[in-house]
């Protein structure tokens, strides 16, 4: 099966204010932050309130994320996670179907 090359992919999205607030609360929950710290082996993290939709890999987006977020991927001071599907469901976010969240390591 040949690969289909995606030339342009619109990664923009807008969340309803209530859905965004609900998702931010879930992503900032203390027990979830502790879980991220354990997985990333760091002392403490803080949710930056930066979200992005993963994009297909291409020459322009070799890391599978919009180019403006690559600086976080290349930095040791940040952790990027896939937003858990159950968080998306609880916040009633169905489009986009996948999101990534950026956390800053503290201390």
pLDDT in tens, 52-97: 999 888 777 888 898 899 999 989 999 999 999 999 999 999 999 9
Q: Is 23 helix (H, G, I), strand (E, B) or coil?
A: helix
pTM: 0.86
Q: Is the pLDDT assigned to residue 7 strictly greater than 70? A: no
Cα diameter, the chain: 48
What's the pLDDT at 58?
77
What's the pLDDT at 13?
76
* Whether residue 96 has a cis bond before it, omega within 30° of 0: yes
**Runs of H (alpha helix) within 41-96:** 70-73, 85-90
- Are the C-beta atoms of 26 and 91 separated by less than 8 Å? yes
Q: Where are the domains of the chain?
A: 17-106
The mean pLDDT value of the chain amounts to 89
Over residues 13-35, mean pLDDT: 95
């Amino acid at each position: 099966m040949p690969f289909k090359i995606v030339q342009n992919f619109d990664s923009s999205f807008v969340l309803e204010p209530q859905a965004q607030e609900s998702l931010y609360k879930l992503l900032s929950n203390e027990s979830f932050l502790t879980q991220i710290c354990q997985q990333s082996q760091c002392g403490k993290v803080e949710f930056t309130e930066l979200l992005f939709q993963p994009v297909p890999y291409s020459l322009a987006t070799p890391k599978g994320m919009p180019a403006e977020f690559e600086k976080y991927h290349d930095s040791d001071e940040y952790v990027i996670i896939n937003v858990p599907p159950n968080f998306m469901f609880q916040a009633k976010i169905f489009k986009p179907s996948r999101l990534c969240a950026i956390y800053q390591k503290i201390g």
